[in-house]
Amino acid sequence: MEDILLHLLRTTPQIHEFSVQFRQTDSAEWFYIRHKLDQSRRKSVKYGFVKVYVDHDGKRGHAEFIAYPSHTEEDLKTLIGDAVASAKLIENQAYVLPEKAEATPLLETVDRIELGKKIIDFTFAMEAKYQGEINSFEVFTNTHAIRFVNSNQTDVTYGVNDAFLEMIVNANDGEKEIELMREWRFASFDPRQMEIRYEEVFREARDRASAMPTPDLKKADLILGGENVKELFGIYRSATNANSIFNKASTFTQGQNVQENAVGDKVSFTMTDRLVASCANAPIDEDGVLLKPVKILDQGVFTTIWGESRYCQYLDVPITGNLKNMDVASGSKSLSEIERSNAIEVLDFSSFVVDETSGDFGGEIRLGYLIKDGVKTAISGGSINGNLLELHRNIELSVERQDIDRFSGPLKIRIADVVVSGIKAA
């Protein structure tokens, strides 16, 4: 299929440029109900993700389709013809694919069966250690062999892996039963960091069963950790992206001190091609841009616009490529300082909503802690909301770090003066 597809793309006169990402994914899956294996299976999937670029009337359009090994040559001709027709309907400003890139192969594959067994054994060990109660869990492990080819003679092969774990835990306080679901995606299995997550979920389930209503504090310092930090910092990632800037969805200006008059930690971050736990590591992006780390914010100053080739060309800035991984520098505060009194720490939201364009964030509190006079009290209900771009003048970042999918950075952060709407008078 690969050779036939590439020949057709190269010899179709209406196509001016193209790129193809051939992928073969080998996966293993396990599903447990409590301690009993209910289902296990293995599968292998192969396909090509194709983008074609068509120039017309001084504009450029593109379209995408997926090609499978089962497609005949006639099938592929039909798919290509439909893609060309679709691309002619799009009228973007002109741009070109990058010149030929020579990338060092990225080889991060592991034995997916052994990785899955390691995760399963670790799960049962953590359940016993922290006296938790697992209702059920699923483990998926995948290895991906990838070949990227484009019309400018770039031809790069690399391999990556990832794992996915979904778990449901129970807790019962004698009057009511609580069920919590957690899911984690990661490329490398780090027992130290995974133990933190397991301990948290078992503790959260028990505390949720006995949580008090959230007091109506009006405003308070907010502590966030884990995936919520990654989601919130997506505001910075989006505001500095070439797409957002070109389309005027960002108010940031290159060279601007976006944390002017900061009294807390100043944010620094890099967009990079690889992180230890990321499932999106790659030496090259979907257009064929060779990827390397780029510093975006430096002590609160916006130094570099980043993004895919097309929008960098529109803005006439250096092309960084579509980097997927965010590496945020540690802050100045220890966890004990972050978790000091007079704050609310939210561990779990019904839904944590982050508007990357405006900077607004908020969510209903499913489980959190009121930290007052050195005592942590479990709370539930009510909500928090704020705007990061208005509040980041006084933000604190932990020295301690976390490595999760597509993100490396502070384990916890603390933001002053966040609105807290409770369900019980303080």
- Residue pLDDT, tens place only, 292-304: 999 999 999 999 9
Contact, 118 vs 161, CB < 8 A?
A: no
- Joined together, the tokens standing for residue 169 give 């835990």
Contact, 256 vs 297, CB < 8 A?
A: no
Q: What is the CA radius of gyration of the chain?
A: 24
Pairing of strands 412-421, 218-225: antiparallel
State residue 223's pLDDT score.
Answer: 98
Residue whose pair of structure tokens reads 């492990």 in the numeric block: 141
State residue 103's pLDDT score.
Answer: 74
Residue whose pair of structure tokens reads 């502590």 in the numeric block: 223
- Joined together, the tokens standing for residue 118 give 């390691």
List the strands of the sheet with 17-33, edge to edge.
Answer: 59-67, 36-56, 17-33, 134-150, 155-172, 177-186
Pick left, alpha or beta for residue 25 (phi over 0 → left; psi -120 to 50 → alpha; otherwise beta): beta
Contact, 397 vs 333, CB < 8 A?
A: yes
State residue 35's pLDDT score.
Answer: 94
State residue 425's pLDDT score.
Answer: 57
Beta bridge partners of 29: 41, 140
* Beta carbons within 10 angstroms of residue 205's beta carbon: 23
Burial 306-323 (b: 16+ CB within 10 A, else e): bbbbbbbbbeebebbbbb
Positive or negative, the CA dihedral 329, 335, 341, 344 is positive
Beta bridge partners of 385: 362, 419
In words, the CATH class of domain 2-205 is: alpha beta
* Beta carbons within 10 angstroms of residue 409's beta carbon: 23
Positive or negative, the CA dihedral 79, 81, 83, 86 is negative
Please name which of 301, 227, 228 lies closest in space to residue 262, comparing C-alpha atoms: 301
Interatomic CA distance for residues 221 and 165, integer angstroms: 32
**254 phi/psi in degrees, rounded to 5:** -55, 130
Contact, 380 vs 299, CB < 8 A?
A: no
* Beta carbons within 10 angstroms of residue 362's beta carbon: 18
Contact, 375 vs 224, CB < 8 A?
A: no
Q: What are the residue ranges in the chain where pLDDT is below 70?
A: 105, 108, 424-426
Ranges for all domains in the chain classified under CATH 3.30.2290.10: 2-205
HEC secondary structure over 336-403: HHHCCCCEEEEEEEEEEEECCCCCEEEEEEEEEEEEECCEEEEEECCEEEEEHHHHHHHEEEECCEEE
- If you average pLDDT over every residue of the chain, what do you get? 94
